[in-house]
Structure 1
Amino acid sequence: MTAADTATGTTSLPPGQSTPEQQALARQVLELCRAGRLEEAEGPYRDLCGNPPRDGAGLLSLADAARILARPADSVAWAEAAVRSQPDRADGWSVLALAFIAAGRPDDGYAAAAEALRRAGNDTAGDAAAIQAAVQAHRAQALARLRRGQLAEAAAACDTALRLADAVAQPAQSLRQAQAETLGTLALVRMLEGRAEEAEALFRRALSHRPVLPEILGNHASLLARLGRDEEALEQAEQAVALRPRLAGTLHLIGTLHHRAGQPESAIAAFHRVLAVDPGHSDARLRLADSLRIAGHWQEAATVCRDGLARIANPDDPGRTPLLANLGAALQSSGDAAGALEAYREALRLSPDLPEVHNNLARLHQETGNPDAAIEELRRATAGRPANQPLPLPLRRALLSLLVAAGRTAEAEAEAFGIARTAPEDAELCFGIAALFLQGGWRDQALPYVRKAIRLAPDMPRNWIAFAEALRDATLPGPAGGSDGGLRADLLAALGRPEVEASGLARAIAGVLMGSSILARLAALPEDASPALDDASRTLLADGSLAGLAEDALLLAHLRAAPVCDPALERALTRLRRVLLLALTGPGLPDRPAWRALCAAIAEQCFLNEYVFAETDGEFQVLAVLIRAAESALTSGEQPPAVLVALLGAYRPLYRWERAGALQALSWPEEIARLLNRQVAEPLAEAAIQAELPVLTQISHPVSVGVRAQYEENPYPRWMSTGLLPEPVTLPRFLHALFPHAALPASPAWDAPGWEAPEVLVAGCGTGREAVWAASTLKNAKVLAIDLSRRSLAYATRQSRRLGLSGIEFAQADLLELGTLGRRFDVVHSVGVLHHMEDPMAGLRVLRGLLRPHGVMEVGFYSAAARRPILAARQFIAERGHPPTLDGIRRVRHDILGLPADHPARAVVRSPDFYGTSACRDLLMHVHELHVTLPWLAGALETLGLEFLGFRLADPAVAALYRKRFPEDPAMTSLARWDRLEAEHPMIFGGLYQAWVRARG
């Protein structure tokens, strides 16, 4: 039975009459509805449905109440009954028009509004009731036009209604409400026309007339959301639904705003409220399923989609498509690959051109270990599309990623070229292509795209980070590199970027520099020479060839920034230093700025590599003469030539010279002042820092004492730049980026206060690079960095102060004694330390005890498989009996460089550590080191209750290799599989396992 049926006499009252109680109850129901007290209105409304009023006013009150109670069919029925009761009342036809529009019948609404205007008559100036009815009728026509998309006609109808209302000098409250509602309708029209400022002003006017109109509050909230003012929009929308809880559109907006803000649980609650009001609201159902899936409620998301599908009887209805796509995504997230595949296939049957579904299908194939099927799925998505409608860019990038991961080089390069051609001057796009190639370990393919990204966006730090990654440890061909002036410029600029670690570019720079014929000639000079300049050296000086090197900006910058890591360039520089030294005793080397700069840069390089360059007896004799000349000049109150000071610093650290203080007291050119700062001021500052360092534990274990002695003699590594990120990130974000597949701890552990300001322990910090990394990478990190060697700690402290990092506490301690500290940490970092202990497991057990619940730890161990060349070199060294002194290390390097290319020990020449005194000792002549295997690591983690999160890999190509070999393990967390891969490729870890683990919780 409809409301119209109940409105036909069920009492003994004459037609058109109601009892005073009925009339009062109808007014009460309407007022409760208008006040937002819908639950209170429900009971009286049901009572009236059983015994409705018969007069027109009472029926119209019920019609308005039903519309507010979200019963559009009832609203139409009551309004129709009112019109039948009093067909000449214009306000009855206006209410009927609004009821028709609320019920989704805009044509009927428009007709009813036209009838209302006819009944109101042409002259409404003296009849307030007629004016109000006309205003409502014009507004109803505006709403009907709005439903048809006729915005200009809707605006005109609103304008007419507002002119009528404005003509009344003292409008009644009901007319003021009608005026406010019309202003709100016009504001909605302007919003849909894109005239946001006008819409905003109209909404404000409407709300000033009647601030508790919920529909206007809701529509205003929509405008605020469109303008990106989400917090204001949410507040306004909440006010609207507080007044009118069944405003489905506004409830939907609230859910959307929560979804957009990353608050899925709040969004879920809002979308449930929408469906409670309007079970057929398809968009709310889709958003609800999406929010449930994001929140991890996969089964519930699938149920919501299936309920929606059950409401659509026709299996070929395209309206099923989005529900099927969402169902597939929910099932895919829950691990139901077969169910997801079936849902996706059905969605594509109904609508073949669904890029997102093709993408999800491709991911599904990839996750189930079938990358070729994933590629073909995206290929199918492309097939049949018009040439002017290519696959959307995200899917083309997904296809490129799959091709890279599958190692299909030619196809990947062609796809990348096609993508780049769509937007040739897009830095973001170029970076994205480069990043995908780098992810696959394809540095050569990445380089041109990242260089283009740099050209288009030279101030973007991530472009320079990618550039350094593309060239890390690469050896570029000399002539090609030398002819590429642009690459020279890029390398020079990269050396000045704080986010770039200069040492990673050393090989690439060497390849470019060795394109110089002068350096090639220097490298070919004989190793031994007499004190007098030989003919070749005289020729180089006489023809001005060396002057070009003195002005080579890339060469000078490299010498100052990072140790040279190339045998040929090292030979060239060793000979160049000798030529310059011998020239100083004759007329060949005037004290010009260019020569000073070159000699000072060589001196900075030699200080960085701790004078690992070989020396001849002739050089030693000339050096003694020059030292006496410098001392004589200082004694007589004269200033030694600047170039002489630079060459002295190229052979011996100046701070060890007893006259270093006298040099500092003099005024020098810029390059010499910088050299004295590095070779005198900084070492003296470190000596002062050593005396201030706190001691946290005793150091008494024999192995610890021996290791400490080595690093007091040879601190390692000596570094200048660390590749600092421009902005630190939170610990959760860092771990998510490093291990996207890891199921990280849920709240409350993950949201505990410690994660916002993590306590970090760097156990065995050496010269501080890892401590600086932690303090600059992890947002608000508080770092305790300990080491055995006070000299290493002093270097670390000075460098951290130079970088302005105040969140690091350095102290001397033995890792084995840290359990006595009584502290716990969110992050523990100990790489390259535990394998220098007598029992690495004992050290690992201590670190495990320092972790907080759900804490994470990075540990590094030497790989037994990857260290085979090191073991061969150590055996080679032992056979010759070279001691771990500067002279012994020079002899070791000389002998290894002279080995045949296929000798097992010759492979160590590829290590950057081969090119520095302390580094070479650490690499080849360490006082105590052990090696482990991956089965040992797996057993150790199991014993200590630690969960393996993944490896930090220096080379992205290794991750690509693993994914291709074991596609069934996208998280790459199987140590057994890693062991198999290492057996097939023994050098994939570069000598060191760097594993991130966490405490099981």
Structure 2
Amino acid sequence: MKKISRNDPCPCNSGRKYKHCCQQFEETSTTLTVATRLVNRRAKGLPDPSIPEYFQTAIGYHQAGNLPWAEAIYRQILQAAPDHPGALHFLGLIARQMGKNEIAIELIGKALAFKPDYAEAHSNLGNALKDQGRLEEAVASYRKALSLAPGFAEVYANLGNALKGQGKLDEAIASYRKALTLKPDFAEIHCLLGNALNEQGTPDEAIASYRSALTHKTDFAEAYCNLGNVLNTQGRLNEAIISFSKALQLKPHFAEAHSNLGNALREQGKLDESIASYRNALSHRPDYAEACSNLGNALREQGKLDEAITSYQRALQIRESPEIKSGFAQCIKNIYFTHEIPDIRFLVARAISEPWERPADLANPAISLVKLHPGIKECITRATSAWPAELSQHELLGPPGAFAFASICDDVLLHRLLENTTVCDMELERFLTMARNALLDEAISEKKCPVAEERILAFYCALARQCFINEYIFDCSGKESTCAQLLRERVAAALAAGSRVPVLWLVAVAAYFPLIALPFIESLLDQSWPDAVAGLLVQQAREPLEERQYRDLIPRLTPITDETSRLVQKQYEENPYPRWVKSAPGDRAISIDAYLRERLPFSQFKPMNPVDKIGNKKNETLDILIAGCGTGQHSIATAQRYQNAKVLAVDLSLTSLCYAKRKTREAGLGNIEYAQADIMALGSTERRFDIIESVGVLHHLADPIAGWRQLLSLLRPGGFMRLGFYSEYARQNETAAQNFVIGHGYRPVPEDIRRCRQDLMSMENAARFKQILSARDFYGMSECRDLLFHVQEHRYTLPQLKKSLKELNLVFVGFSLDPGVINQYAVRFPADQSHTDLDSWHLFETANPDTFTGMYQFWVQRHG
């Protein structure tokens, strides 16, 4: 064992030499005797050893990595001198090294009780607190250490790490910069600074920091890897690949670099090479969940869906991080399964119910898997074969013990689908329509108090929740409607009399009418119910009651006097759009500049965030206006997306706003303000905004460009707008269906919307309107009314939008599109490196008319 000298680094990790750090504890004169050592020394005629000698010996063992011996000697010291701060501190360090952070915190805390000015102990206490996620306390410890010893560069770096963990990027960057003033050649801190700058949305500064790190440490593989990541996000793929390759030359087993190289190769469309890189990463680190996830993405793009799913399953077995869950959901998003994959149903059920992505985006994979189940498939076949004739429960499902009946009652994926999003499939809708009728028959049978098994009840409750979500869009014959009305009157009479309502009556009524419409419905909320029924009551009574409470609390920001605005308001008061249950989990909030660079890496927009004299971003509030927020999905996603966001969300419909406010409270957000307002009157307000978003709204105004001008008057110089307009090319199928609606005289009322849908789904018309029948919005009442019965709709071409941008003096920043579409465009028009030439995009759209089926969604910037 090498004995520690005065000029060696101190083992307390302070970064200082031993003589300037913990050697001070050798000055104590208290003596310690340990039996075996005493016997040996006395036999040789040597004097008793002192605590400083033992402490020096323990530190030597500690530095050599012999923790058991070092710990034993520290403890011997404490037997003789319980108040020895050095031994307590170093015992705490050993505890932390062994992963025992609670013990470490306790021991270092005792050291500080005896020596409050022990800077190194404050620093290491901060490290232990940070390991436990107690970042606020860690920051306090680091600051105390620096107040005692301002020259600790490493402590400034650790403070920066803790502040970064808190999301305080400006303060973290300042701390890293302070560390570098003390140690300008400290490569690791340059790298940490680069990471923080990249998170802050200043990739060019991050690149400069990584290059500084490599100047001081040319074999710094991690810095090459981080540099490659930033270059990759900037679209500088060749440079990124070179950087990752250098990292791998230095560290051939560097799994992260292999995986990140795979990401860059995948961006270049080199899927075989990217898959090889991901497999290399996993060969060096089999438990690398992110590499499994990335491999899944690449395999999916190759069309190897089974292998992709297997890779994601492996990733989720290793670690269920939000990123991996989201990656799996993105992998299966809108995919239609043609065969079963082991364990996939369980994952999709979780993804749709927790949720890992917007449930609506997972409806297609869920529906396809549901329809693959042999028992459910049997029931759907019976329903579609008999349609429009009605089948009894026994005819549709078979006897209670039959395979098909059990499949329907026990399939978790089917139930989660019904409870969380609209079922957008004609065949499954027809089965559910018949199942609802069978439920009604059971409920109104001659039995006085019909009951159902718990598993059957669970299915019927899920069906009733689906009917509420789609706003009772299922076909309903006159006879069925009469029976449902009769049952509702029975339930209302029971409620008025204070009698117990049979469970099956309640569930059946909920499948035809919202329970909130029943008198005295509040009386049921405090009663004991089976779990499935309790969930149904929350959906159809408790939550709507909460929404009613908000009606008088939401301010009216402007009058609504425009004639078209009043017609649109009436539509959305009757049918708030869209009705949704759960939203995708929010990502970590980032700056607007970082968000745009991530989504539009080739765009040449001007960063909006202000910068102070030393280059730090100012932590200022980002004022955002959502003009036409609907039921709150848009406003909630925006409020979660951006750092320091303060959102004003306005809409014509008070019903929609109440829904949005309830969902916002449910999400626990406090940075959204809701108000009723007309875009055509917003120019009179004095508030100004950094970002204005209005997607799918302006094209419903009488004069969309006039509304756009109103919004533009509220945008600060240098601010951004995110807009969405219908495309004339992409909207051709909807236009044909709208002409069908007009030609047959259907009115925008529930009865006619139901009748119109059945006519469109008929054998005579189904082939003609195939695209409409595959549209998600066709399967909900509010959505279908918005899709086919809207009171006002304008459609645009890109030349028209280009002309408007010129008139409004706005800079086009880029489209929000799937990366695959962007790549196709880049191949066709390589000269347009920023992807912002609207003339080229017009040519691309005319060749690919379905490009903008989700509207022209794009960003523009006002001149600063």
Q: Which moved more, 1:707-716 or 1:553-562?
A: 553-562
Are 1:491 and 1:554, in contact at CA under 8 Å, matched by a contact in 2? yes
Q: Distance in 2 between matches of 1:859 and 1:713?
A: 25
Q: Distance in 1 between matches of 2:796 and 2:437?
A: 44
Query: TM-score under structure 2 normalisation?
Result: 0.72
Question: Which of 602, 607, 614 pairs up with 1:744?
Answer: 607
Residue 786 of structure 1 deviates from its aligned partner by: 1.3
Question: Which of 632, 643, 646 pairs up with 1:768?
Answer: 632
1:572 corresponds to:
431
User: 3-state SS of the aligned residue for 1:424?
Assistant: coil
1:36 corresponds to:
none
Query: Does residue 494 of the first structure (1) align with residue 340 of the second (2)?
Result: no
1:616 corresponds to:
477
Are 1:503 and 1:563, in contact at CA under 8 Å, matched by a contact in 2? yes
User: 3-state SS of the aligned residue for 1:416?
Assistant: helix
Q: Which residue identity lines up with residue 580 of structure 2 in the other structure? A: W
Query: Does residue 480 of the first structure (1) align with residue 480 of the second (2)?
Result: no
Are 2:187 and 2:214, in contact at CA under 8 Å, matched by a contact in 1? no
1:870 corresponds to:
734
Are 1:441 and 1:960, in contact at CA under 8 Å, matched by a contact in 2? no
Question: Which of 422, 439, 453 pairs up with 1:563?
Answer: 422
Are 1:862 and 1:930, in contact at CA under 8 Å, matched by a contact in 2? yes
Q: Distance in 2 between matches of 1:419 and 1:781?
A: 38
Query: Does residue 844 of the first structure (1) align with residue 708 of the second (2)?
Result: yes
Are 2:330 and 2:357, in contact at CA under 8 Å, matched by a contact in 1? no
Are 1:433 and 1:446, in contact at CA under 8 Å, matched by a contact in 2? yes
Residue 711 of structure 1 deviates from its aligned partner by: 0.9
Query: Does residue 679 of the first structure (1) align with residue 536 of the second (2)?
Result: no
1:723 corresponds to:
584
Q: Which residue identity lines up with residue 566 of structure 1 in the other structure? A: D
User: 3-state SS of the aligned residue for 1:760?
Assistant: strand
Are 1:876 and 1:905, in contact at CA under 8 Å, matched by a contact in 2? no
User: 3-state SS of the aligned residue for 1:747?
Assistant: coil
Q: Which residue identity lines up with residue 449 of structure 1 in the other structure? A: S
Q: Distance in 2 between matches of 1:835 and 1:510?
A: 32
CA RMSD in angstroms comes to: 5.5
CA deviation profile, 1:858-912 (whole Å, cap 9, x unmatched): 2222222222222222223333332222122223322333468995632122321
CA deviation profile, 1:440-486 (whole Å, cap 9, x unmatched): 9997765433332322223x322222222222222222x515xx3x2
Residue 415 of structure 1 deviates from its aligned partner by: 3.7
The 5-angstrom pairing of residues 139-538 of structure 1 reads 201=86, 390=252, 392-434=254-296, 446-458=308-320, 460-477=321-338, 479-480=339-340, 484=342, 486-497=343-354, 500-524=357-381, 525=383, 526=385, 528=387, 533=392, 536-537=395-396
Are 1:143 and 1:185, in contact at CA under 8 Å, matched by a contact in 2? no
Residue 544 of structure 1 deviates from its aligned partner by: 6.5
Query: Does residue 993 of the first structure (1) align with residue 856 of the second (2)?
Result: yes
Query: Does residue 553 of the first structure (1) align with residue 553 of the second (2)?
Result: no
The 5-angstrom pairing of residues 897-936 of structure 1 reads 897-898=761-762, 905-936=769-800
Q: Which residue identity lines up with residue 995 of structure 1 in the other structure? A: F
Higher Rg of the two aligned structures? 1
Q: Distance in 2 between matches of 1:287 and 1:727?
A: 21
Identity fraction in percent: 29
Q: Which residue identity lines up with residue 376 of structure 2 in the other structure? A: L
CA deviation profile, 1:276-297 (whole Å, cap 9, x unmatched): xxxxx99899999999x99999
1:958 corresponds to:
821
User: 3-state SS of the aligned residue for 2:368?
Assistant: helix
Residue 838 of structure 1 deviates from its aligned partner by: 2.0
Q: Distance in 1 between matches of 2:658 and 2:193?
A: 57
| Cα 1:241/1:930, change in 2 over 3 Å | closer
User: 3-state SS of the aligned residue for 1:558?
Assistant: helix
Are 2:690 and 2:715, in contact at CA under 8 Å, matched by a contact in 1? yes
Are 1:577 and 1:602, in contact at CA under 8 Å, matched by a contact in 2? yes
The 5-angstrom pairing of residues 11-90 of structure 1 reads none
1:787 corresponds to:
651
Residue 393 of structure 1 deviates from its aligned partner by: 2.8
Q: Distance in 2 between matches of 1:826 and 1:948?
A: 16
Pick 1 or 2: higher relative contact order, CA cutoff 8 A, min separation 6. 2
Q: Which residue identity lines up with residue 786 of structure 2 in the other structure? A: D
| Cα 1:520/1:888, change in 2 over 3 Å | same
Query: TM-score under structure 1 normalisation?
Result: 0.63
1:983 corresponds to:
846
| Cα 1:925/1:757, change in 2 over 3 Å | same
The 5-angstrom pairing of residues 684-699 of structure 1 reads 684-699=545-560
CA deviation profile, 1:714-770 (whole Å, cap 9, x unmatched): 111111111232765555554554455665236348999995433322211111222
User: 3-state SS of the aligned residue for 2:337?
Assistant: coil
Residue 434 of structure 1 deviates from its aligned partner by: 4.6
Q: Distance in 1 between matches of 2:439 and 2:189?
A: 79
Are 1:368 and 1:967, in contact at CA under 8 Å, matched by a contact in 2? no
Residue 564 of structure 1 deviates from its aligned partner by: 0.9
| Cα 1:645/1:552, change in 2 over 3 Å | same
CA deviation profile, 1:85-131 (whole Å, cap 9, x unmatched): xxxxxxxxxxxxxxxxxxxxxxxxxxxxxxxxxxxxxxxxxxxxxxx
| Cα 1:946/1:550, change in 2 over 3 Å | same
Q: Which residue identity lines up with residue 749 of structure 2 in the other structure? A: T
Are 1:413 and 1:445, in contact at CA under 8 Å, matched by a contact in 2? no
| Cα 1:377/1:423, change in 2 over 3 Å | closer
CA deviation profile, 1:41-100 (whole Å, cap 9, x unmatched): xxxxxxxxxxxxxxxxxxxxxxxxxxxxxxxxxxxxxxxxxxxxxxxxxxxxxxxxxxxx
Query: Does residue 641 of the first structure (1) align with residue 502 of the second (2)?
Result: yes
Q: Distance in 1 between matches of 2:543 and 2:467?
A: 15
1:826 corresponds to:
690
Residue 918 of structure 1 deviates from its aligned partner by: 0.7
1:886 corresponds to:
750
Aligned length: 766
Are 1:274 and 1:284, in contact at CA under 8 Å, matched by a contact in 2? no
CA deviation profile, 1:221-276 (whole Å, cap 9, x unmatched): 9999999999999999999999xxxxxxx9x989989998988899889979989x
User: 3-state SS of the aligned residue for 1:996?
Assistant: strand
Q: Distance in 2 between matches of 1:968 and 1:183?
A: 73
2:459 corresponds to:
598
User: 3-state SS of the aligned residue for 1:480?
Assistant: coil
CA deviation profile, 1:510-558 (whole Å, cap 9, x unmatched): 1111122333233232455667849844845684632432232222222
| Cα 1:322/1:669, change in 2 over 3 Å | closer
Q: Which moved more, 1:467-476 or 1:683-692?
A: 683-692
Q: Distance in 2 between matches of 1:787 and 1:826?
A: 19
Are 2:379 and 2:431, in contact at CA under 8 Å, matched by a contact in 1? yes
| Cα 1:753/1:548, change in 2 over 3 Å | same
| Cα 1:274/1:756, change in 2 over 3 Å | closer
Q: Distance in 2 between matches of 1:734 and 1:965?
A: 26
Residue 926 of structure 1 deviates from its aligned partner by: 0.9
User: 3-state SS of the aligned residue for 2:417?
Assistant: helix
Residue 817 of structure 1 deviates from its aligned partner by: 0.9
Q: Distance in 2 between matches of 1:677 and 1:286?
A: 53
Q: Which runs of 5+ in 1 are unaligned?
A: 1-138, 147-153, 167-181, 206-216, 243-249, 276-280, 306-320, 327-350
CA deviation profile, 1:486-518 (whole Å, cap 9, x unmatched): 222222322442554222221111111112233
Are 1:730 and 1:756, in contact at CA under 8 Å, matched by a contact in 2? no
Are 2:329 and 2:357, in contact at CA under 8 Å, matched by a contact in 1? yes
Residue 915 of structure 1 deviates from its aligned partner by: 0.9
CA deviation profile, 1:408-434 (whole Å, cap 9, x unmatched): 444443443343333222334334545
